[in-house]
A and B are shown apart, each in its own frame.
Chain A
Amino acid sequence: MQRAVLLLGANADMAESMARHFAQRGYQLLLASRNTEKLASLESDLKIRYDADVQVFRFDANDYPSHHAFYHSLPVKPDVVVVAFGVLGDTEMAMGDWNSSQEIISANFTGAVSIVNVVALDFQQRQAGTIVGISSVAGERGRQSNFIYGSAKAGFTAYLSGLRNRLTRHKVHVVTVKPGFVRTKMIADVPTPVLLTATPDQVAKRIDRAIQKRKNVIYVLPVWRYIMLVIKLIPEFIFKKLSL
């Protein structure tokens, strides 16, 4: 039977690569995002390129009360759900403006918890399914440059870990993805070191493999595992003085 994947936050570069990847592998695609207008061109593209079965839905991570109805009104129940939405935000601005802080926390943590709760209960009942959460290496240790984002991602990582623990005996699999640097369309504006930067296509391939091999926590480029290990080993009395 054809498998279905639900991509939440489908306008993100990484999600677009995943959509292409899953389309080529014959999945039915349910693409959801706040901006469905932007999704329309992706929808037509996937249909023309891969003869894919694609549908587009409006989904707002911040609108918690809508999540239950959103999920249960989908035309099919997905086999794979990917949480790809998230907001980096501006830490400096967020410090002085609660609304921006809340937006960061909501898009990266509470909004994700709200929708994944709904999905998890369904998967638990069906005794099947895979949940993929795109978290971040920023959640492993708070740094002054992005700790509001980082702490929300830390929360999300902990949530996914607990969820995995809960759902394993229900045959539901949970993958936590920590991408590290990813080359986005905006690369020219913010240069990152080439060897540490994955392409969105690499992310998509790694995630697909993680789903098939039932991996639990993945870094897209293995080198990040060691980088984060080192970062976590730095004693706090030194770490607090670093400008990271």
Chain B
Amino acid sequence: MVRAISNWGNYPVIQANEFSISSQEDIRQRLLDSSLIVRGNGRCYGDASLAPSIVSSVGLNRFLAWNPMDGILTCQSGVLLSEILEVFVPKGWFLPVTPGTKYITVGGAVASDVHGKNHHVDGSFSQHVIELELMTGQGELITCSRDTHPDIFWATCGGMGLTGAILAVTFRLKKIATSFIRYHHIKARNLYEILDLFDQYSSATYSVAWIDCLIKGENFGRSILMLGETASPEDLTENNERLRAGKEPFLNVPFNFPAFALNKLSIRAFNALYYGKNLTKESRKIVHYEPFFYPLDSILNWNRIYGSRGFVQYQFVLPEDSGRKGIEDILQRISKRGLGSFLAVLKQFGYQNDLISFPMKGYTLALDIPIVYGLFEFLNQLDEVVAGYGGRIYLSKDARMSSEIFWKTYKNAPKFQEVILRYDPELKFCSELSKRLKIKG
């Protein structure tokens, strides 16, 4: 049945057929009919998991093997990170890398090669992946890793579903002593201060900053740096259950909000933190991992707060050498334009240089912007600036970049394209994104 379907940003909306499946055989059958793309939990922002024909992986929801000695887990690709937490946190294990929402599938974590607050020390999700089971466009099953079929392994990590359907993933969990975080936050008066703080705290396991994009003058770039370490049992009071998984959401946003609601909300959130109880520059406390990693997951469907026109998340990375100057330049343009998001997330990335994955050593900035008249022209200009500094845009958040910018900024794109065409010569796995960026289809 054809219906309107979109991902987290509610933009773009396309008419598509989404098929549920429960076995690899089901996918093989679908491949005989038409080209398609696999969709996980639809938490990418734009068109990466959209196509006229979509196969939903969420029915592939089984854990296949678990070794408690070394923490190696094999599960089907439709298992949600939230399910992994629910089962393994009580056993003393955590995700090696987690994005800002736990409602994504393991397949989506690989296909976007997601990063978390620990990228600068632990890298992206793929660094913890041992093996993938993949179905290619010809219905062939391939087990790939760094040693066997490394070409398709690397094209699949961050490859946005264009190499085929990931069926199962084997990866390493991280041992934890408690489900709590030793949290430490520091206010930075301006951009220079926050960038210095990142360097100063580069050995912290988890780090990320909220940055005020609108303020001008001497407080330009004022931010809050949030650091975290897994708490040890001694950090806890007796009331804390040592290993406890987070709770399920209890708030829901039932309908689309008028567009103006959002900026007020994020301004308030930021101000509450900045001027609120913690008047001191720094503060430390013990918090459960849930609010630390997933502050927004407690509100189901918060994306509806942006209204029915939808929004985009603009996330780019700049390499380290030009990064400081570049972030300042781009923030100034955003602040001058007064467009969109009050709040942005700034993070320092560690070294990474894989075939098609987004992260590289440097700085990444992500901001949510409701779609308004003139926005795309402005973002096109920003794209040129990002490209000029040697940076690039995260495909998993993107809904609008031009193919020229993609080919200019992803240096390995030709090699990536060569691999996917070799394994999928009939172009069975294509998405709206792969067509827009002229990668495939």
* A residues neighboring B (CB under 8 Å): 13, 38, 41-42, 44-45, 48-49, 185-189, 191
Contacts and interface: CB of A to CB of B under 8 A. Distances in A.
A45 B64 contact: yes
B1 interface: yes
Contacts of A187: 20
B59 interface: yes
Interface in B49-72: 56, 59, 61-66
A191 B20 CA distance: 12
9 nearest interchain CB pairs? A45-B62, A48-B63, A41-B62, A185-B22, A185-B20, A185-B59, A48-B66, A45-B63, A188-B20
Interface residues of B, number: 18
B18 A41 contact: no
Contact of B65 (A42, A44, A185): A44
A44 B62 contact: yes
Contacts of A42: 62
Give the one of B22, B23, B56 with max A CB within 10 A: B22
B19 A188 contact: yes
A204 to B, nearest CB: 15
Nearest to B23: A38
Given A185-B59, A191-B1, A41 B64 contact: yes
25 contacts: A13-B22, A38-B23, A41-B64, A41-B76, A42-B62, A44-B62, A44-B63, A44-B64, A44-B65, A45-B62, A45-B63, A45-B64, A48-B65, A48-B66, A48-B87, A49-B63, A49-B87, A185-B22, A186-B20, A187-B20, A188-B19, A188-B20, A189-B1, A189-B19, A191-B1
Contacts of B62: 41-42, 44-45
Nearest to B25: A38
B21 interface: yes
Given A41-B64, A191-B1, 14 more contacts: A13-B22, A41-B62, A41-B76, A44-B63, A45-B63, A48-B65, A48-B87, A185-B21, A185-B59, A187-B20, A188-B17, A188-B18, A188-B20, A188-B56
A188 B39 CA distance: 14
A13 B21 CA distance: 12
A187 B1 CA distance: 10
Contacts of A49: 63, 87
A11 to B, nearest CB: 9
Nearest to B56: A188
B380 to A, nearest CB: 36
A189 B33 CA distance: 14
Contacts of A186: 20
A144 B20 CA distance: 28
Contacts of A13: 22
Nearest to B66: A48
A44 B75 CA distance: 10
Nearest to A38: B23
B5 to A, nearest CB: 11
B50 to A, nearest CB: 15
Contacts of B65: 44, 48
A97 B111 CA distance: 46
Given A44-B64, A44-B65, A48-B66, A188 B1 contact: yes
B151 to A, nearest CB: 28
A10 to B, nearest CB: 13
A36 to B, nearest CB: 14
Contacts of B21: 185
Nearest to B65: A44
A188 B1 CA distance: 6
Contacts of A44: 62-65
Contacts of B61: 45
Contacts of A41: 62, 64, 76
Contacts of B66: 48
Nearest to A41: B62
Interface string B87-99: 1000000000000
B62 to A, nearest CB: 4
A41 B76 CA distance: 9
A45 B63 CA distance: 4
A45 B84 CA distance: 12
Give the one of B18, B20, B23, B61 with max A CB within 10 A: B20
A13 B1 CA distance: 21
A48 B63 CA distance: 7
Contacts of B23: 38
Interface string B180-208: 00000000000000000000000000000
A44 to B, nearest CB: 5
Nearest to A187: B20
A189 B65 CA distance: 31
A48 B88 CA distance: 9
B243 to A, nearest CB: 15
A187 B19 CA distance: 8
Give the one of B23, B59, B63, B76 with max A CB within 10 A: B63
Nearest to B64: A44
B23 to A, nearest CB: 7
Interface string B76-108: 100000000001000000000000000000000
A44 B63 CA distance: 6
A185 B78 CA distance: 13
Interface string B3-22: 00000000000000111111
Nearest to A11: B22
A189 B18 CA distance: 8
Contacts of B18: 188
A196 to B, nearest CB: 17
A191 B62 CA distance: 25
Contacts of B56: 188
Give the one of A13, A186, A188 with max B CB within 10 A: A188
A160 to B, nearest CB: 28
A171 B426 CA distance: 63
